[in-house]
A and B are shown apart, each in its own frame.
Chain A
Amino acid sequence: MTGAEAKRFLSSSALGLVGCSACGELNRALECECSCWCCGAPLQRRKHESLSRSWAYLLAATIMYVPANLYPVLQSRTVAGEESHTILGGVVALWRGGSWPLALLVFFASIVVPLLKLLAMTLLLVSVHVRSSWRLHERARLFRLLEFVGRWSMLDIFVVAILVALVRLRSLATMDAGPGALAFAAVVVLSMLAAQSFDVRLIWDVAGRNEHT
């Protein structure tokens, strides 16, 4: 804690003030079981149950990550037979087919990124729990990246949805979304929720940078 980083900030909580998350009105509230005097919304000095929710969503997302990768996301039924494709299977097929840029893209977008998201979220949560003050700025940046990237993972789901809707050649070929697609969508949504539930200010709180503590 040297130099600029050691600089202490004066937070609203240090003054016993809480900003309403709905209308932005300041409330004076030392104990936080309150509603906004202006709009009646529950007042939260920090996001309510942030860690707990974040953990819950993260856990759920992690659980769903398993079937998302094990189950086929796409089932195609053609005259040549029925085939189901898992994400990894698709990557392997693309790689074998020689189009490895595409394979790499799918691999990173659909397998690595969600996994990294889960890991990053875990890292953030754990660091808050252990009240770490390690690389506060990087962690904050990581969180913002996390929030930004989150929605792009839904791309896979859109592709599947479009394919299913478009490829309807009756007996010749049909495509259906597999159970893996649902699980994958759940992973994306739940990890987004986990990120949303996480209150990034906690990083600073637990590091003892805010005066309240």
Chain B
Amino acid sequence: MNTPDPQAVASVPEAVARRGRVRLPLVWIVPALAALIGGWIAVHAVLERGPSVRIRFQTAEGLEPGKTVIRFRSVEVGQVRTIELATDHRTVLVTAEMVKDARSLLSEDTRFWVVRPRIAAGGVSGLGTLISGSFIGMDLGKSRRTAREFQGLEVPPVVTGDLPGRDFVLHGGTLGSIEVGSPVYFRHVPVGRVTEFRLDADGQGITVGVFIESPYDHFVVRDSRFWHASGVDVSVGADGVRVNTESVAAILVGGIAFETPEPSQEAPAAAAGTQYHLAPSRVAAMKSPNETPDLYVLYFKNSLHGLAVGAPVDFNGVEVGEVRSTKIEYDPANVIFRFPVEIAVYPQRVRARYRQESPRPDTDVTGTYRFVERLIEHGFRAQLRTGSLLTGQQYVALDFFPRAPRARSDPTAVPMMLPTVPGGLDDLQASLADILRKIDAMPLQRLGSDADAALVSLREALDTAKQLADQIERDVTPEARTTLVEARRTLSAVNETLASDAPLEQDLRQSLKQLTRAAEALRSLADYLERHPEALLRGKARDGS
């Protein structure tokens, strides 16, 4: 068995020839398939690979490379790949890979911010991120230009880009308690939010961006007024104390309100980005129109102490303007100083009240000046009045003084000079001074000396009187005393005579009794005679009747 037997080998049957030999080894399909799959995966990876963006943040707090995602409307659109410090070490550069479809989302003004749990006066947000970790929020921009580098926001934007509505810009003096997200009210209805604020470059004011949501945005017209609605507005008026506030939230987080003074249906809505003045209060807002005022210059004779720039100019109690400046002018020709007060009068306020009566001849400033010239002829004057006796604040009042001395003004001069009359307290002061001057002018010296002389003669007269009295005392008194003693003696004698127990008295009483008896007898006689008149002739009957 070990040695092969050629016979046995020869008896092994011949193999059968195969037909149709396959030339292409089928097995190569496998690597081809693998290459195909691998290639497809590679191509897919390249194709699916979205754009990579770089976002600059102040801090990378809560961000983790490979984990933190970028979400747009809660849909994952990207993932943070790397986080590194910027070369200046001031910011953090976050590189994120977006999904392929996100290409169209990356316009120039697309915004990114880190969604973290936040607690602010306006509310609580981002609580979900306590568990899931922070993520980067994203808001679609409107620009058609794309970008790959972005500046991340430190706080989430108040208004997302797709919210219908309009942005407006407000310029104001101070920010008050407004912050980003503070509400904007229209008739106490929250209609928008503060989106941003910044200090002006020159530091002279602030600029506040507000967003008014549709459909309320068409209430903002060109003539609308914005004001601070922060806090509580307490005013004491003739009708008592009024406390005004937009809402409890506005007390806490501040707010802005707006209103249109004379709303009309046809007023076109303001275009987005329109600039407005942000007034400190509603009252201030309602009196500050946006148009250019007419300027007038006033020369007062009295001191301008207490007249501050910004002091009101009122016309019969209605505020129509404000003091712009007070200056000193030197007139070398007459060697006098003059103190021009420049005031601004807002013609719109005047016009609004004057519209119904007669149409204005002109709308430009010369027209106004000509109109004012006519008014001056009727006694239109400016007067400096004291607003508060306590603080000595003064204001400029415009009014008609028909008895004022005639004055003229050149309507072509800009600013036009408005004649003035001394007013109120100054008037009083002037009169007082007048009185004092008159008193001063009185000949008090001479009057004094006259009085002196009069007094001397008076004393002489008195001396004479005294001498007379002395004389009387010396000469008359002793005699008078004896006379009086005698008189008393006489009187006591009389007294004795007339006393009740005096003999004279006794006698007199008896006499009187007898007289009474006589009178009675006489009366009975008279009676008898009346009854018996014949007795006169016949005598008395004896036995009576």
A residues neighboring B (CB under 8 Å): 15-18, 26-29, 31, 33-35, 37, 42-43, 49, 52-53, 56-57, 59-61, 63-64, 66-67, 71, 79-83, 179, 183, 186, 190, 193, 197
Contacts and interface: CB of A to CB of B under 8 A. Distances in A.
B13 A28 contact: yes
A81 B67 contact: yes
Contacts of A43: 15
B330 interface: no
B34 A64 contact: yes
B343 to A, nearest CB: 67
Contacts of B69: 81-82
Given A53-B27, A64-B38, A186-B34, A34 B9 contact: no
A52 B9 contact: no
Contacts of A56: 25, 27-28, 30-31
B201 interface: no
Interface of B: 4, 9, 12-18, 21, 25, 27-28, 30-31, 33-35, 37-38, 41, 67, 69, 76, 131-133
A29 B37 contact: no
A28 B9 contact: yes
Contact of A179 (B41, B67, B76): B41
A63 to B, nearest CB: 4
11 contacts: A15-B4, A28-B14, A29-B15, A33-B17, A33-B18, A49-B27, A63-B31, A64-B38, A81-B69, A81-B132, A83-B67
Contacts of A179: 41
Nearest to B30: A60
A28 B38 contact: no
Contact of B38 (A15, A34, A67, A193): A67
Nearest to B41: A67
Contacts of B27: 49, 52-53, 56-57, 197
A46 to B, nearest CB: 15
Nearest to B45: A70
Contacts of B17: 33-34
Contact of A33 (B9, B12, B21, B132): B21
Contacts of B132: 79-81
Given A79-B131, A81-B67, A83-B67, A190 B30 contact: yes
Given A52-B25, A57-B27, A190 B15 contact: no
B13 A34 contact: no
A83 B76 CA distance: 13
A63 B30 contact: no
B34 A63 contact: yes
B4 A37 contact: no
Nearest to A66: B38
A60 to B, nearest CB: 3
Given A17-B9, A53-B27, A80-B132, A63 B14 contact: no
B9 A15 contact: yes
A64 B18 contact: no
Contacts of A17: 9, 12
A84 to B, nearest CB: 9
A152 to B, nearest CB: 22
Contacts of B12: 17, 26-28
Contacts of A57: 27, 30-31
A34 B18 contact: yes
A27 B13 CA distance: 7
List 7 tightest A-B contacts by C-beta distance, closest first: A34-B15, A60-B34, A28-B12, A29-B15, A59-B31, A60-B31, A53-B27
Contacts of A79: 131-132
A49 B28 CA distance: 11
Contacts of B31: 56-57, 59-60, 63
Given A18-B15, A81-B132, A190-B34, 18 more contacts: A16-B9, A17-B9, A17-B12, A27-B15, A28-B14, A28-B15, A52-B28, A53-B27, A56-B27, A56-B28, A57-B31, A64-B38, A80-B132, A81-B69, A82-B76, A83-B67, A190-B30, A193-B30
B13 A53 contact: no
A90 to B, nearest CB: 14
Nearest to A10: B4
Contacts of B13: 27-28, 37
A37 B11 CA distance: 13
Nearest to A28: B12
A49 B26 CA distance: 10
Contacts of A42: 18
Which of A26, A49, A193 gathers most chain B CB within 10 Å?
A49
A56 B37 CA distance: 15
A35 B15 contact: yes
A52 B34 CA distance: 16
A178 B12 CA distance: 56
Contacts of A33: 15, 17-18, 21
B78 to A, nearest CB: 13
Contacts of B25: 49, 52-53, 56
A82 B131 CA distance: 13
A35 B41 contact: no
B133 A71 contact: no
A43 B76 CA distance: 59
A80 B30 contact: no
A149 B133 CA distance: 43
B18 A35 contact: yes
A60 B35 contact: yes
Which of A28, A52, A60, A66 gathers most chain B CB within 10 Å?
A60
Nearest to B131: A79
Contact of B131 (A64, A80, A193): A80
A43 B14 CA distance: 12
Contacts of B9: 15-17, 28
Nearest to A71: B41
A37 B15 contact: yes
Contacts of A71: 41
B21 A80 contact: no
A27 B18 CA distance: 15
A46 B379 CA distance: 131
Contacts of A29: 14-15
Contacts of A28: 9, 12-15
A81 B33 contact: no
A26 B396 CA distance: 132
Contacts of A80: 131-133
A197 B26 CA distance: 13
Nearest to A65: B38
Contacts of B15: 18, 27-29, 31, 33-35, 37, 43
Contacts of B16: 34-35, 37
Contacts of A64: 34, 37-38
Contacts of B18: 33-35, 42
Nearest to A194: B30
Contacts of A26: 12
Contacts of A53: 25, 27
